[in-house]
Structure 1
């Protein structure tokens, strides 16, 4: 598979599907080698994953776990509509609980500055 990610700065803040409705998780990535433990929150979502844990496994497979540690902070669903340039964040994960959707939206807005991103609670 190639070299695994070993630096916090090399972990992209967002990696989600380009379109559709899919499960997502909010993950805290911690740098195990830093003198002061550094971390950041990242958003991951993949339309091919049936379970939120599968989304976590995708990132786990990409990192060097001797240097970085993942801690899932919860999940939900994301709907991405590239035609209207909108992203909706909602729902929860049965296994990980509800992610802090406000933090998720904050992270998404940095990566999609021209898009409308909102939290909706009408849907699961």
Structure 2
């Protein structure tokens, strides 16, 4: 199970633009949270992102369970190397943007990653 979880990237977002994002709690066989991942794509709904990710991960292992504790928006400016995390999902509520920022800072160490309270 550990190798399977290591194969799942912590962060996967679109290369540029403003789009929706969600945090996903990934659970192992013992039903404890094994890791938190972030996914952000230009989609109409946060739920669409969750369904896409769930489908991909279920193909890797049926033993993995996922839950979405919240979402928001990402403004990714690749040219300026800046990422802004803000807002909330109507369906899932607000994600913990501090967790999102930490994951993004690890994935994009040469970027300025911030969060704001604006919607």
Fold conserved between structures, TM > 0.5: yes
Superposed CA RMSD in Å reads 1.6
Change (3 A) 1:69 1:120: same
Could you list the runs of 4 or more consecutive aligned residues of structure 1 that deviate by over 6 angstroms after TM superposition? none
SS at match of 1:40: strand
1:83–1:74 CA distance, 2 compared to 1 (3 A): same
Structure 1 match to 2:49: 55
d(CA) in 2 for partners of 1:107, 1:63: 19
Q: Contact between 2:25 and 2:33, CA under 8 Å: does it hold in 1?
A: no
2:34 alignment partner, SS class: strand
1:12 CA displacement: 0.6
1:7 aligns to what SS in structure 2? helix
> Does 106-115 or 55-64 show the bigger shift?
55-64
Shift of 1:8: 1.3
Q: Give matches, 1:1-20, under 5 Å.
A: 7-20=4-17
Give the TM-score normalised by structure 2: 0.90
Aligned residues: 115
Query: How far 1:67 moved relative to its partner?
Result: 1.3
Which structure has more helix as a fraction of its residues? 2
What residue ranges of structure 1 are gaps of 5+ in the alignment?
1-5
Q: Please, which runs of 5 or more residues in structure 2 have no aligned partner?
A: none
Q: Secondary structure at the match of 2:57?
A: coil
TM, length-normalised to structure 1: 0.87
